[in-house]
Amino acid sequence: MTHIDPATSVDDVQDQKRGKSRGVRLFIRDIVLIFLAAIIISVGIKAFLIRSFYIPSESMQDTLQVNDRIIVNELVPGLVPVQRGDVVVFKDPGGWLPPSVPVTQNAFAAGVDWVLSVVGLSAPDSNDHLIKRVIGLPGDKVACCNAFGQMTVNGVPLAEPYLKLPTGVTKVSANDFSVTVPANALWVMGDNRYDSADSRFNTDTPSKGFVPMDDVVGRAFVITWPAGHWTWLDDYPKVFSGVGASQ
């Protein structure tokens, strides 16, 4: 018969318990470290690469619908230049938007929204930003409308397939204008051309209707939600291919 030392048996049991306890602590530590790493990576991505926004208005229909969620490439325009036709998100240059009304939330909802905003999955500041399509780059002369009701850039007429116009209307802007885009600025317009308070309607603001390049957050490149609207956002290079470089 094998002899078992009771003292040794008790020590073994205690060692096993300590080992299990240490294993649990290590597991919890690893989970916390993984979670913190994910948060840091997400915050880094949001800060330097991409952000999520939702669409609060009808100004970009039918390209974007109200409450669509989009992802914005924040490398534009810092590292990647803006192109004509890009759909860009930008901060209010001043006077484009009415004063925002604070949204009241309970503590739990506010906490959840804050966590989601940290990792770039929520966009609580969407109401303080605008989204439009770039029509004119610095130095471009943008005018409307020619005899056929078209927009022109540097004298070249544009055939704009992305526009939403009222039934029976072919003129792409109700009001005529002619502007030259200053340095380090953009001329932007909504795709829903007759229901968009864009550059045309903000000429009396401090920016004179132009969007300073420094106010551009980035280029919207994909609709992420709802799932049925998922698509890449086109910048329609063929529309602007004949325009050439600005003077």
The whole-angstrom separation of Cα 175 and Cα 240 is 22
Q: What are phi and psi of 108, to 5 degrees?
A: -65, -50
Q: Which residues contact 57 (CB under 8 A, 6 or more apart)?
A: 66
Contact 65, 55 (CB under 8 A): yes
Question: Are 200 and 209 spatial neighbours (Cβ–Cβ below 8 Å)?
Answer: yes
Strand locations in the chain, DSSP E? 50-54, 69-73, 87-91, 129-136, 141-144, 151-153, 156-157, 177-180, 185-189, 211-212, 216-225, 231-232
For residue 126, the SS3 value is helix
Degrees to nearest 5, angle at CA 207 with 137 and 66: 75
What are the residue numbers of the active site? 59, 132
Tokens of 190: 């909504």
Which residues touch 212 (CB under 8 Å, ≥6 apart)? Answer: 93, 184, 185
**Helix residue ranges per DSSP H, 49-129:** 107-118
Residue by residue, DSSP assigns 4-48 as --HHHHHHHHHHHHHHHHHHHHHHHHHHHHHHHHHHHHHHHHHHH
